[in-house]
Structures are given as C-alpha cells and as structure tokens.
Structure 1
C-alpha cells in the first residue's frame, strides 16, 4: 500500500488525507493534547438539600402513649398498613390535626407543624415522623443496564455511582465511555471508564428527582481490523480506548506469512473531507520498539486498522490469479491445434 498525501483542494471529489508516522514524539504530543477527564461544574457543584416530602410518599406518624393515633389499623399490623399517604395535591389528613400541607416540607418541618396542632387536644404531644416508602422523587434509567427500574430519592442522598451499581451494567452491551445524565433540559456526557481513575468521579455526582441516566450501547463503538491479520473482523469495545496492540491482538495478530511489517495503518476519517484531510497513522512494525509504541497508541471508534501484504504475498496472489487464466489460454490453444490437425486429415 503506497500512500501519498493528497494536497489537491481544487477537486472536491478527490479524498484528501495526510500520513502521520507513529513515533514516540507523536504519541507524547497526542497525550499532551488530550484533555484530562473531568465532570461539568454544574454537576459537581450540586449538593442535595434535606429531603422534602412529596405526593406518593407514605409517612408513619408516632404519637407516644397514644396508640389509637399511631396505629389506627391495629398495633399488630405492619407499619405500611398504618402509613399516611401524601395525596396528589400534597396534603394528608391526621386526626385532630386536620388537613396538613405536607408536600414541600422537610420531615422536621412537618413534625413541628403536627406537634403544634395536636397540642390543642393532646397535652405535650411527643410526635415522631418517618418516611416508610418513597414515591415522589425518582430517577429514571435506560440503555445498557440489567435493570432499568426507576430509583427513588430518599433521605439518604443518591449518587450516580450508586444508581449505576444498583442498576447493574450489562457488560456485553454497554459503552462505558458514554453515560448521559439528563437534567433540567441539559444532557451531560460522562466517560465512566475514564472518570474511574480520577479523584472526583461518579461517586461525587449527586442525583435529584427528575434526572434521567442513559448508558449507551456499544453497537457502533467498533474498530475494524482488516488486511493481513489472522482474523479480520469488527471489534466492539466498551471502554474509552483500545490500543493498537489490543486491536491487532484481538484479531489474532499479524499473519506471519503474508503481513508486511512496515504496512500497518490506522485510518481515521473526519466529518467533512472537503474542509480537512483524514488522518492515516503508519506504524513500522518491523522495528523492535514498534509494539511498545502500539501499546501506547489509542484507536478510536470508527477507525480502520489495515495491515498490508508483503511483496511475496502479493506476487503469490498475482500468480494464483494468473494461473486459471493461463490454463484457459493453454486449453484454447490445444483445442485450436487439434481442430487444425483434424482439418488437414
């Protein structure tokens, strides 16, 4: 494969490309230009406030020394049977206290309001209030999770790492480099694989009601390894990066009989070839330090890794293609000679 960078910009139908040798200097330059993984400030700065009660929450209210108020369904019943459900309009009814506006209040704020109202009928009421089931604030999930059931915000703050852990990642289908957190009309794309190695990671992102977490599938997260390798194929990968060594290794390695060591290329396209050239990275695999460099060179989704054929392999293929044609010519010549001899008789 003989490559020569095209510099003709006058013809839009001609594909433009530039060939870049893979060298230690080039790898170092790429690494320096790659930004460190980080979390958007809008996510890392959010800190959850004390939980506020909402419609769908169920409360268990204890008035000490007054079981008729605490457990109207009977003390032998489970706590849920004696729970007080916050109505869709945000209110709940409690004996002697009447209709209470519960939505928007913290547990302590509602407990204080209830104590104040009961004090008119119960001397020095000792009131305790807990939330026994949650239903007002939830986080929805989708994508490559084993379980995409909604998860509810509780009095204990929920982090993105905890939500993903509960949902359980489908490791065969997930693209760990693209977790999308949708919040307040904005989509935040997070590289879960890269963020796992930084101090501020997914465990520092707190979720709130209305958030949606989508874990991308890896259907299109592929590298295509073709040419003189043992098993040419499309390689799916779930992490942020796959090195050139890993890509070639997963394809069975170079074909020792046909591969040309100097002809290992990584072809990387661009969105608009008319505006910028595509990049073709070349690795001289015949040098001793080639695979040390290849182990540091990351390929990207959509890249094509091409391994060219050696001169002997190209000659053998030419001969194998020529032989059937030469045999046909020989058979035709023999048939013509036979016909001439027959005519002479």
Structure 2
C-alpha cells in the first residue's frame, strides 16, 4: 500500500507539474489563442480594436484598388499614322518637265531615297532649302517642296513617302514576350495593339498591371480592364514608357492553416474565404473555425465607419473576427475583402492544448516509470 500511495503521489506531482507548464504557456503552439487576442483589444485596455465581421463591416472595408487612366490619357487622340516626327526617314522623288533640270532630266526622277528628319524636325532638299517636316504629313511636305522648287523649275512633280517610323517610338519593359523599343505605326497606335506587338504579357492576365509613363504623368491599369473596357485602350505618344509587372500585393497566413507563408494575390480582388483556400484551407485536426482573425492597419476614415465613430486620427490597428460556424459565417467570409499586407490568422481549437497536455503528461509519466525501474534494478531504490 505504501508503494502504491507513493506511486500515486508521484504521478499526481507530475500531473501538477505538467498542468503548471500548460498554465505558464510553455507547451508548443502556433500562436495566441482567442482569449489572448480578445485580451489585447482596446475594450480591455489593449491597443487594437477587435471587431466581429458583419454585413456593415464587409461593406465599409470592401476596398479593391481601382486602377485606370485620368482624362489626360483618355482624351489624347490617336496620332495620325502619317505624322512625321524627328528621326523618321523619308523618300523624296522629284520629276522636272525640262530636258536639263536642276535636279533631274525630263522623264527621269531625282530620287533622294533616305532623307532623315533631324532632331529639330527639319530636312534639307537641294534648291528647296531647309524644310520643316516634323508635325506635318507627307502630303504637306510635298506641297512645301513643290512651292519652293516652282520658282526655279517649271511645274515640278514631287512625291514624298515615309520609309520608316522609328522617329515616334515607345519603350516596353517588364513581363512581356519581348522587351524593346517599338515604332508607333498604323497598326500599333494604341496601348493594347502595342502590347500585342511586344508579344503580350508574360504573367497571368488576372494579376498583370500595365504602367505607362508620359513625361511627368503616370497611369496604371489592370491588363484585363484594358480589354474589357475599350475606352481604356489609350492612344500612344512618342516617348511613352510602358512597364508590365505582376501585381505585388500579398497577405500572410499564420496559425492552423494548411500552410504558413506569405501569399501573393491571384486575382484583382480576394475574399477571406478565397485567401484561406489559397493556403490549403483550415487544418482539420487543430483549427478552430470560430477563430479566424484578420489583422490590419486600417485608415482612420474606414476605422471610424466600422466603429461608428468620428474621433479617430491616423491608422488604427484592427482585428476582424470571422466565425465560420455561424449561419452566415461562410457568406461573410466570402464577402470580406482581404487587402495588401493583411495577416490571416486561424487559432487552434481549445481541445488541442489539452491534447498536448495529456501527451506531455503521458510522456513524462512514462519517462519517470522508466527511470524508477532503472533505479530499482541498479539497487538505488527499494
């Protein structure tokens, strides 16, 4: 009886020790539990607002980045395909009606095959002099040359054609099929057509962002929106710089989810339900579906709307709570929008800590029994 009483006393002491370890938070876990998170709320003298997600919250926080061009880009007309720019190359042919003309003989044209427009926008034609070409069409340049030559040769016939359009160009870099400098020509006078000329985008269309820099102005648009909204297919201008890049937004998944990592957005908008699905869903063995939290620094104007206040200033720490077991819990998780930089955290179910506690107790008792047996065998214990 004495030995049995001693054994039970020893085991009770071990159990008390393990329970003490559990109370001291020394058992391993993936993060804070629901009680600890609520304990850190402003309502309990913490520094974060803990808010249960409802329909009003989903509406107030449903912000998806709206990308698009301002009127300066949208109202710019398409550049005429025949407009000459500095750097363009022209072909000029001149016929004269005299046997010995100043440039050619009768019936045979004087051909100036490659006349490049200089940086100031001018070309030089013998006997016609320096002529402004930039900003004019080939037809206008033809008339100017004709007028200049009429004073020196009777009824000159002039033909001007554009040989190359590399005077008006755009540069395309980033996630496209082929980066480079491309001429603005008749088929490629708009953004969509120019991207097609560059081989299209090299990242999923759902997360491709097109950025265009024109002088001091910058515009951005989703690649998908470019095709769904024809008005967004803006006209290009000489010197435009176009960058195609993958959406850089991401959220962090922690806790009892399928994986714990930083996850990039795969669509323009992402709901809490989709975010959980992207990381493999809830861990069915440990997750608490009543404890899905979204941590976010919320702008003051949105925080005031969510909390029904008007006195908050500056970004506020907000913790949104989703309970997937509620009748509308799945719908609210589907409607709640995840934003760039959010942390999605799923707490462990309460029984998980008890399971760990029992496992730790059993392991400790087993180790103690083994140690006692070894000591008895060695004669150290009766």
When normalised by structure 1's length, the TM-score is: 0.77
1:296 and 1:70 mapped to 2: Cα distance? 73
More helix by share: 2
Displacement of 1:104? 4.0
Preserved contact between residue 174 and residue 216 of structure 1 (Cα < 8 Å): no
Please, which moves more after superposition, 187-196 or 231-240? 187-196
After superposition, the CA RMSD in angstroms is: 3.6
Structure 1 window deviating more from structure 2 (189-198 vs 257-266): it is: 189-198
Partner of 1:292: 331
Q: Give the equivalent residue in structure 2 for 1:75.
A: none
Match of residue 69, structure 1, among 80, 94, 109: 109
| CA spacing shift, 1:145–1:155, aligned 2, 3 Å | closer
Match of 1:6 in 2: 41
Cα offset, 1:133, TM superposition: 0.9
Change (3 A) 1:232 1:242: same
Q: Which runs of 5+ in 2 are unaligned?
A: 1-32, 97-105, 301-312
Q: Quick one: which of 51, 76, 79 aligns to 1:20?
A: 51
Measure the CA separation in 2 of the matches of 1:67 and 1:245. 79
Residues 243 and 295 of structure 1 are in contact (CA less than 8 Å); yes or no, is this contact kept in structure 2? yes
Task: Report Cα offsets for 1:178-203 as digits up to 9, x if no partner.
Answer: 433222223334344556655742x1
1:47 corresponding residue in structure 2? 77
Is residue 2:123 matched to residue 1:92?
A: yes
Residue pair 2:296, 2:342 contacting (<8 A) in 1 also: yes
- Map 1:308-327 to 2 at 5 A: 308-327=347-366
What is the alpha-carbon distance in structure 2 between the residues aligned to residue 69 and residue 308 of structure 1? 86
| Cα shift at 1:131 | 1.6
**1:228 aligns with one of 256, 273, 288:** 256
Distance 1:123 1:300, change over 3 A: same
Among 172, 181, 192, the residue aligned to 1:141:
172
How far the C-alpha of 1:26 sits from its partner, in A, is 2.0
Q: Deviations over 1:291-313 (max 9, x none)?
A: 33322222122222222222233
Q: Distance in 2 between matches of 1:8 and 1:25?
A: 20
The structure-2 alpha-carbon separation of the partners of 1:312 and 1:6, relative to structure 1 and needing over 3 Å to count, comes to: closer
Larger Rg: 2
Does the 8 Å CA contact 1:157/1:206 hold for their aligned counterparts? no
**CA shift for structure 1 position 146:** 2.4
Per the TM alignment, residue 285 of structure 1 is displaced from its structure 2 partner at its CA by 0.9
